[in-house]
Chain A
Amino acid sequence: MRRGTGFGIAIAGVLAATATAVALPAAAQEKLKIGFITTLSGPQGVIGKHMKDSLDLAMEHLGGKVGGLETEVVIGDDQQKPDVGLDVANKMLKSDRVQFVTGVIWSNVLMAIVGPVTRETFLLSSNAGPSPLAGKECHENFFAVSWQNDQTPEAMGKYMSEAGVSDVYAIAPNYQAGKDMLTGFKRTFKGKVVEEMYVKLGQQDYQTELTQVRAANPKAVFVFLPGGMGINFLKQYEQAGLRQQFPLYNVYTTDGTTLPAVKEAALGVRSTQTWVATLANPVNRRYVEDFRKKFNYIPSFYGAQTYDTFMLLDAALKKAGGKISDKKAIREALRTVEAPNTRGSLKFNTNHFPIQNFYLQEVVQDTEGNFTLQVKGVVFSAHGDAYAKDCKMAP
């Protein structure tokens, strides 16, 4: 009996400690709280670092106040797992009581949290933009400040058609975003796709696929292999001597997070993107210069989109008169406000996905020896996505 009681006290202690641990942050109210979900631990933590650094810079530029309000940003690590992301989101909503949830790199994490978050409050994706949320499952509280998955490859498809490229071998990972990317590519690409190869998500060695590419003897290769997958692929593409033989085009593969590792193996490779570090608009110049000064590396699109998310929030809250509780006014403001952004153009479509420019970019080596991306032209201006017509949201 005594043991039982002692044990009970121990458990009660744990419970009480937990309760106070969670209870403390909730004590102070009446200020703006923003949840920011990203991936900090694990192999993809480098993307999270790019995003978090940009968030810090945005807060510095805003003087620590978003929309003129006292602001606290709660950062959560989803470990790239949907159920962990969901727990993080729940904790933000119910314990920290954030009024906005932002960030989110991965479409599977986004799909897991979108229901519970939009039921309570606003969700602003700084990266993932899966097709279901742009069409049938769109929601008035969900905004993609990034893009819709299909759009960027659509731009690539258009550019390649115009350049007269045909007989393309396409490679993407076997998951929703990978399929969205190839769907988008085929929507605008007029030439022939000789083969669509889906690889395992997170695959490291591509020698098997590269051998298949050589055997198929295409005129060009198009890939979507984000993060570490891209680093591996680009290195091996170079090692296999394919770069000279088959010109490589991509989306989300040569970017600010992968180029420092890939270096010259990606020189001259072309891709499309909504943002490039060398875009000459004043907001972007300030962002890139201050970022490089503060963190000593070149930012990536993940970071720029994070920065834009916070600039949008700031502008929308100011327009709505700083009243956090007025959801309707804030929604209207998010939809219509002209916020400063790093991309040169950004407006929301009826489904709360952006209408924006898509640029062609190329990997170059700058004067300091860094490998980075340079704008080569505009492929689409003010381009919307293909799913907006399926979205039945009251305007």
Chain B
Amino acid sequence: MVQTFNGLQLGVMLFLMAAGLTLVLGIMDFVNLAHGSLLMVGAYVASTITGWTGSFLLGLAAALPAAFLAGVLLEVAVLRHFYDRGHLEQVLATFGLILFFNEAVRLIWGPAALFFDPPSALRGQVEILPGAPYPAFRLAIIVVGLAVALALYLVIARTRVGMRIRAGASNRDIAQALGLDIGRLFAVVFGAGAALAGLAGVILGPITNVEPGMGDPVLILAFVVIIIGGIGSVRGAFAAALLVGLVDTLGRAFLPILLRLVLNPSNADAAGPALASMLIYLLMAAILFFRPHGLFPARTG
């Protein structure tokens, strides 16, 4: 039961990363491997500001605009020139950006991992079930993640901007022909996506350490989420994020135990963790086998 909460927490975390990424992919057909670097920027800025002021909230307040700015800057300076290129060049360029950002962070902050605490109000435990205490900060992550998801849903489903985003995601050419300023729309979406990644970084900071390359494993998982959910679909990203979070967590917790029933313990101990790591990729391959465009394909044309 508590493991379900863990899965949920990983899920909303992934959703924060995947939401921005899936829209960028859906609208501009742009592969941004450097999205994980924005998470890193958010975490580093939050860690530095929190370290100076001692206030987590100030750290958060500084990190979101910083990630937003970094995103917009990146978009204007580099990424913009790659929209009309193929996926290949986009992959190459943003792969280069990852290397640059990881090493630049090491130059500025040094190679040692940084560390900052969650706000003091969230440092304790909350009893979610009798006898099952749960870290308050992780509970807060779930709440924030669900709130962001709800807000995103409302923006996309109910507002004019949202309507444009939906139009852009489902068929770019037609949307453009109808007079939609795709360029501006994209800048907005990109900035928002960057800020969400920054938020993910701030949230991740107190749990794991803040270090160069910290965004890369999350990025790969976020891509898995997007693919499972269907490119361009925020709804799909949300469902897939929760699915991946649950499968990964429950797999890690229970697969080794299950394997012990069929294999001898020493083999099970060796194979269990590795198979658990494979599980989400297996899930993705299986889903794509039956639904080549993901669970909720957004693109029609």
List B234-292 residues whose CB lies under 8 Å from chain A.
Answer: 249, 252-253, 256, 269-270, 272-274, 276-277
A-B pairs with CB below 8 Å: how many?
101
The verdict on A395 contacting chain B, using a C-beta distance below 8 Å, is: no
Per-residue CB proximity of B68-107 to A under 8 Å, as 1/0?
0000000000000000000000000000000000010010
Q: Which residues of A contact B137 (CB under 8 A)?
A: 239
Number of interface residues of B (CB under 8 A): 42
Q: Which residues of A contact B113 (CB under 8 A)?
A: 43, 46, 228, 231, 261
> CA A48 – CA B110 in complex, angstroms?
12
> CA A263 – CA B116 in complex, angstroms?
10
The verdict on A225 contacting chain B, using a C-beta distance below 8 Å, is: no
The verdict on A381 contacting chain B, using a C-beta distance below 8 Å, is: no
Which A residue sits closest to B111, measured CB to CB? Answer: A45
The verdict on A205 contacting chain B, using a C-beta distance below 8 Å, is: yes
Checking B9, B138, B212, B274 against A43 with a beta-carbon cut-off of 8 angstroms, the contacting residue is B212
Interface size class of A (residues with CB under 8 A): 35 or more
Interface contact B253-A208, CB-CB below 8 Å: yes
Which A residue sits closest to B13, measured CB to CB? Answer: A205
Q: Which residues of B contact A260 (CB under 8 A)?
A: 112
The verdict on A49 contacting chain B, using a C-beta distance below 8 Å, is: yes
> CA A49 – CA B209 in complex, angstroms?
18
Stretch at the interface among A7-15, A59-67, A155-163, A194-202: A194-202
With A41-B103, A207-B9, A211-B253 known as contacts, the answer to whether A200 contacts B273 (CB < 8 A) is yes
> CA A87 – CA B137 in complex, angstroms?
45
Interface contact A198-B272, CB-CB below 8 Å: yes
Checking A41, A208, A215, A239 against B6 with a beta-carbon cut-off of 8 angstroms, the contacting residue is A208
The verdict on A174 contacting chain B, using a C-beta distance below 8 Å, is: yes
> CA A235 – CA B103 in complex, angstroms?
25
With A43-B212, A239-B123 known as contacts, the answer to whether A205 contacts B10 (CB < 8 A) is yes
Interface contact A228-B211, CB-CB below 8 Å: yes
Q: Which residues of A contact B135 (CB under 8 A)?
A: 207, 239-241
List A28-44 residues whose CB lies under 8 Å from chain B.
Answer: 41-43
List B1-52 residues whose CB lies under 8 Å from chain A.
Answer: 2-3, 6, 9-10
Interface contact B208-A46, CB-CB below 8 Å: no
List B188-223 residues whose CB lies under 8 Å from chain A.
Answer: 206-209, 211-214, 217
Which A residue sits closest to B138, measured CB to CB? Answer: A207
Checking B106, B118, B213, B217 against A239 with a beta-carbon cut-off of 8 angstroms, the contacting residue is B118
- 24 chain-A/chain-B pairs, Cβ below 8 angstroms: A42-B212, A43-B111, A43-B211, A43-B214, A45-B212, A46-B113, A49-B112, A198-B270, A198-B273, A200-B273, A200-B277, A205-B10, A207-B249, A208-B6, A212-B253, A228-B209, A231-B113, A231-B115, A235-B209, A239-B135, A239-B138, A241-B135, A261-B112, A261-B115
Q: Which 6 A-B pairs have the closest CB atoms?
A: A45-B111, A204-B208, A261-B115, A46-B111, A46-B112, A174-B273
Known contacts A42-B213, A174-B274, A257-B112; can you find 18 more A-B pairs with CB under 8 A? A41-B103, A46-B112, A49-B111, A199-B273, A200-B276, A202-B217, A204-B214, A205-B208, A207-B138, A228-B209, A232-B208, A235-B207, A239-B135, A240-B125, A240-B135, A241-B124, A262-B115, A263-B115
